């Protein structure tokens, strides 16, 4: 059972005023850097699993929010849904369109913001997001938008990294070297039952399942090389550090990998996430 503890605010320390538009602009630049599609395609199985968890139906209208290079969108299209994928990074949308074209799948990809979805109320039967919407800086607004565009009785399906899983630890490790914006809620809050209950109050039901995606690389050094070159947050973090700082960050990631790696010959690291199905 999860216990929610509410602490009274410190009246002598007013909450910092956060320029969420500026934060979002920096995030957009972060995800446009590197080439997330290189990593995104390796996580395709999560989109397939989420479509099954939501139990999408052929012919239904499905939205993939913060779709990246299109994992959940393509998974839904393979199930004969009428799919729209939305992201605010044009480079990732281009990669998603290329993947859809290669498979002969009909998906409408739209440039747009997860916090301001350009669709009418109740337009979709289901809205999905795999490790995407969790990074929106205004979490309450993003959650409200997911619910708004889904019809009553429709579903929202989410895959979100947990704080105690490998990626949760990785993000905190990076944050120790390059701190995230002050005053912005951590994205891995979406990987906790308590935060989800807060974000999706008043829904008909919410089913939460702990799941695992397993990263497979040749070695910890191979993993770091790929994430350093292609994963926006680590790409940006390494770019902001001098040689000494880069070495320190590399060492901390190696130590983290050693804690989670279950192989003695290569890099096989299970990463926990929450698979969530919300019924509006």
pLDDT, one tens digit per residue, over 179-236 is 988 888 999 999 999 999 999 999 999 999 999 999 999 999 999 999 999 999 999 9
pLDDT at 74: 98
pLDDT at 30: 86
Residue 2 — pLDDT band, cuts 50, 70, 90? very low
Q: What is the mean pLDDT of residues 140-157?
A: 98
Strands 205-217 and 150-161: unpaired
The total number of residues written for the chain in this structure: 280
Is the pLDDT at 15 greater than 70? The verdict is no
pLDDT at 34: 83
Decide: 241 and 185 in contact? Cβ < 8 Å. Answer: no
Report the distance separating Cα 140 and Cα 153, nearest Å. 21
Share of the chain above pLDDT 70, in %: 94
Residues 88-97: tens digit of each pLDDT: 999 999 999 9
For the chain, what are the domain ranges?
Answer: 20-172+180-216+271-279
Question: Full-prediction pTM beyond 0.85?
Answer: yes
pLDDT at 20: 81
The residue among 91, 122, 89 whose CA lies nearest residue 280 is 122
Is the pLDDT at 66 greater than 60? The verdict is yes
pLDDT at 16: 57
Token code pair at residue 122: 């109740």
The CATH architecture to which 20-172+180-216+271-279 belongs is 3-Layer(aba) Sandwich (3.40)
Answer with the residue of higher pLDDT: 164 or 23: 164
Report the distance separating Cα 276 and Cα 127, nearest Å. 12
Strands 267-279 and 150-161: antiparallel
Decide: 118 and 17 in contact? Cβ < 8 Å. Answer: no
Residues 6+ apart with CB under 8 A from 190: 133, 134, 139, 158, 160, 161, 196, 199, 274
Is the pLDDT at 10 greater than 80? The verdict is no
Report the distance separating Cα 18 and Cα 29, nearest Å. 18
Distances (CA, A) of 32 to 23, 72, 90, 253: 14, 19, 8, 23
67: helix, strand or coil: coil
State the DSSP H helix or E strand holding residue 151, giving kind and residue range, or none if neither.
strand 150-161
């Amino acid at each position: 059972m999860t216990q929610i503890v509410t602490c009274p605010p410190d009246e002598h320390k007013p909450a910092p005023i956060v320029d969420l538009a500026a934060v979002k602009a920096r995030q957009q630049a972060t995800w446009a850097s590197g080439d997330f599609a290189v990593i995104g395609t390796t996580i395709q199985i999560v989109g397939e699993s989420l479509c099954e968890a939501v139990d999408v139906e052929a012919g239904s209208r499905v939205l993939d929010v913060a779709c990246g290079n299109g994992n959940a969108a393509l998974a839904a299209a393979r199930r004969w849904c009428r799919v729209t994928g939305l992201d605010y990074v044009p480079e990732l949308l281009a990669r998603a369109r290329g993947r859809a074209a290669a498979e002969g799948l009909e998906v409408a990809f739209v440039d747009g913001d997860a916090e301001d979805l350009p669709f009418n109320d109740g337009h979709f039967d289901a809205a999905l997001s795999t490790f995407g919407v969790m990074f929106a800086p205004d979490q309450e607004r993003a959650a409200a938008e997911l619910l708004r565009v889904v019809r009553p009785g429709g579903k929202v399906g989410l895959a979100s990294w947990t704080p105690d899983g490998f990626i949760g630890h990785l993000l905190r490790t990076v944050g120790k070297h390059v701190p995230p914006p002050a005053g912005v809620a951590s994205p891995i809050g979406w990987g906790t039952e308590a935060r989800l209950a807060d974000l999706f109050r008043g829904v008909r039901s919410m089913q939460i399942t702990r799941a695992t995606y397993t990263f497979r690389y040749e070695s910890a050094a191979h993993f770091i090389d790929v994430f350093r070159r292609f994963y926006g947050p680590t790409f940006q973090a390494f770019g902001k550090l001098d040689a000494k700082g880069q070495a320190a960050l590399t060492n901390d990631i190696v130590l983290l990998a050693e804690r989670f790696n279950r192989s003695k010959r290569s890099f096989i690291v299970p990463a926990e996430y929450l698979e969530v199905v919300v019924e509006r």
